[in-house]
Amino acid sequence: MVVGTRSELWARAQRLIPGGVNSPVRAMRAVGLDEPMFVRRADGAYLEDADGARYVDWVQSWGALLFGHADPETIEAIREAALDGTSYGAATEREVELAAEIVEAIPSVEMVRLVSSGTEAAMSALRLARGFTRRDRVLKFAGCYHGHVDALLAEAGSGVATLGIPATPGIPGAVTSHTIVCPYNDLDAAAAAVARYGEGLACVIVEPVAGNMGVVPPAPGFLDGLRALCDASGALLVFDEVVTGFRVARGGAQERFGVRPDLTILGKIAGGGLPLAAFGGRADVMQELAPTGPVYQAGTLSGNPLATAAGLSVLRRLRDPLVYDELERRAARLQAGLDGHGTVQRVGAMLTLFCTPPELGAVPIRNYALVRDRADAERYGALFRHLFDRGIYLAPSQFEAMFVSLAHGDEEIDRTIEAVESFRA
Ligand code: HOZ
């Protein structure tokens, strides 16, 4: 089914969809493109656009795909499920199976509820933290992104950072007045905020490895320090593992760094590339949700049969430790090839090549202010276009990550490294 060339689609899209896209970063303006890519199909490590051009895809649906596009096992699981109906809005066996798989994998999760998007999971986890503690305030970190939840868009990463939006109209001041923002990796600032607001603090929410300002690893002691601050103040510690869950380890960043949050937000890989997300954690907190408790949360498509089938087909394969050994090997090979072309920051199978000026060399970037200061978004745009012209697709923003999958072989990795080596800005 061919409906139009990229340019034809772009012309129509702009008349029909605000900005021509359904999520702002996709417009690719930040990397200097006049028209975004329109994807026609994809397989393994490759995307094919509406004009038939093929690209090595380092976005992989923003990290959702660990086995690459159109993975045969996932497709078969979805096909089989679809034959029995696509949505019931009722309880199913597969959602119990998926919940069991998540509880088994993620160290701190005792109970879990399934929803349809990361934003929905973050919004619900925040409500639950507030309902459980009977407190309103939330502490977040600049450059972290937790979906487009009103209270959490303050100094947010991802598309908000890409477009340089300082504050979004449409969010009442009363909503953000409960949001406190600290610099990432700054435990002293977090401690000062907790000392000041601790009694009213419902939760501290953090990406345990930041992925939405580019990849910024947690400094040694940062996550443990947040755990201690929460224990002392009675606030809940919430890890947003939408990106890191099942990626940096089967049990996410909490397994890799050995810190147990009270609540965890999951998405992306958990749904095997279909719209599914989840939030889970301590049983006593989760039991506060309706219908056992008073905190309301609901959704027609929650636990959707196709999404649970896809999620199960992926998560069951992650029990094999070779998956993570192999992801680590491939990501390390990519990192080694990119080192020397900017600042490469990597945790497991996620990394960012920050286009730091050549005269600076590789300099560690530990927070959002340093990302803004040291990473040259113009230079990243030039690198993006250089690679795009050579059939390699990076995230169309400096404030995102490259996601390594098991579909990326040495050939795709080496081709990417060669293309980066040929870039001269
Ligand atoms: N917020 C997503 C990346 N962190 C972008 C999603 C999209 O544009 O599809």
Residue 98 tokens read as: 């998926």
pLDDT of residue 141: 97
Query: Is 240 a known active-site residue?
Result: yes
Query: Is 268 a known active-site residue?
Result: yes
pLDDT of residue 123: 98
Q: Which residue, chain included where needed, has tokens 């949050």?
A: 261
Taking the alpha carbons of 409, 412, 416, 422 in that order, is the dihedral positive or negative?
A: positive
- Domains, the chain, in order of start with CATH, read 6-66+321-421 (3.90.1150.10), 72-317 (3.40.640.10)
Query: Is 145 a known active-site residue?
Result: yes
Cβ contact 23:36 at 8 Å: no
Taking the alpha carbons of 316, 321, 322, 328 in that order, is the dihedral positive or negative?
A: positive
pLDDT of residue 92: 98
pLDDT of residue 1: 53
Q: What is the distance in A from the centroid of ligand 1 to the CA of 88?
A: 28
**How many Cβ atoms are within 10 Å of 82's Cβ, its own excluded?**
12
Is residue 159 pLDDT above 90, yes or no? no
pLDDT of residue 166: 67
| Average per-residue pLDDT for the chain | 96
Taking the alpha carbons of 403, 106, 100, 148 in that order, is the dihedral positive or negative?
A: negative
Which of 49, 186, 240, 376 is labelled catalytic? Answer: 240
pLDDT of residue 3: 63
Q: What is the distance in A from the centroid of ligand 1 to the CA of 83?
A: 30
* CA 400/CA 233 separation, integer angstroms: 33
Residues contacting 16, CB < 8 A, separation 6+? none
Q: What is the model's pTM?
A: 0.97
Lowest mean pLDDT among 151-165, 283-297, 323-337: 151-165
pLDDT of residue 407: 98
Pocket of ligand 1 (CB under 6 A): 23, 25-26, 62, 158-159, 212, 400
Residue 355 tokens read as: 């286009």
**Nearest atom of ligand 1 to the alpha carbon of 147:** 1
Counting ligand 1 atoms within 8 A of each CB, the residue from 25, 37, 119 with the most, and so the one to mutate, is: 25
Is residue 2 pLDDT above 60, yes or no? no
Which of 46, 145, 184, 324 is labelled catalytic? Answer: 145
CA distances from 123 to 115, 127, 128, 238, 278 (A): 11, 6, 9, 12, 11
Give residue-wise pLDDT tens across range 95-121: 999 999 999 999 999 999 999 999 999
> Helix count (H) and strand count (E) of the chain?
16, 14
Q: What is the arithmetic mean of pLDDT over 142-151?
A: 94
> In which order are the strands placed within the sheet that holds 402-403?
343-347, 350-354, 402-403
pLDDT of residue 192: 97
* CA 300/CA 94 separation, integer angstroms: 16
pLDDT of residue 87: 98
Cβ contact 383:11 at 8 Å: no
Task: Please give the DSSP secondary-structure letter assigned to residue 249.
Answer: B
Of 349, 332, 343, the closest CA to residue 68 belongs to 349
**Nearest CA owner, ligand 1 atom 1:** 158
pLDDT of residue 58: 98
Give residue-wise pLDDT tens across range 350-396: 999 999 988 887 889 999 999 999 999 999 999 999 999 999 999 99
Longest dimension (CA), the chain: 60
CA distances from 217 to 181, 184, 185, 392 (A): 18, 10, 9, 25
Q: What is the arithmetic mean of pLDDT over 318-328?
A: 97
**Nearest CA owner, ligand 1 atom 8:** 23
